[in-house]
Structure 1
Amino acid sequence: MTERKPPGMPHETWVDRQIREAQERGEFDDLPSKGKPLPDLDRPRDEMWWVKQLVRRENLSLTPETIALRREVERTLDRIDGMRSERAVRRLVDELNERIREVNARPATGPPSDVAPLDPDEVVRRWRDHVRRQGDGSTGN
């Protein structure tokens, strides 16, 4: 649409004409959502709809980094139980500790970090205990 609105023509009339001509040329015929209902049309009006869509579409996190770090530590410790070698456990702990140091070195934009680097020897000891329990059939309950 490079054409300018003619002087003296109301904007609405001009816009309607542009849309009609585009429809006649078939420019709307192969849109991905053609024939489908508008999403969320029946939902109550939300002034933050575009922010929520952006967060979802861009896979953004609104969780403060220090809280996300706590979750990352928990998930990593859960992953360690399934690891097959001490070397892999130590490598994962080293990577996590580097991440903890990076977050702790920056000023917090949310709650302050209370996460300290993990002791690799302690994590390996717990991993070995878990592997032994799995090997002898104990459940640890």
Structure 2
Amino acid sequence: MVHWYESSIDRQLREAAERGEFDKLKGLGKPLPDAGREYQEDWWVKDWLEREGATAGVIPPTLALRRDVEDLEVKVDRLRTEGEVRDHLAELNERLRKARVGLMDGPPVVLPPVDADRVVAAWRERRGKS
């Protein structure tokens, strides 16, 4: 005797297929998008933006925060004084703190605080100041 178990999800999928609900899906018979491309860590973000028709300016605050951390060097290089750099880093670290404890909308962020002294030292070096 063969014992066969069908979960409720499997049953729902089977019944939907029997009703033909999957017969006219968009992209039926076509390869999956991005098949064969190199894996990207934020693939789901790009997929969401494309699917929702969103632009880079309309993303959840935690995703914007991740972008700010990635672009930190470019941003601080536009600042003129060490005080401006330190103020920017203090504001960024406060946003990171809020994101880590769930006070910001969007996917969770587990980025550590930015080391202000390290960033300022690199900023000075790029400006030719010691």
TM-score when scaled to structure 1? Answer: 0.45
- Bigger Rg over Cα: 1
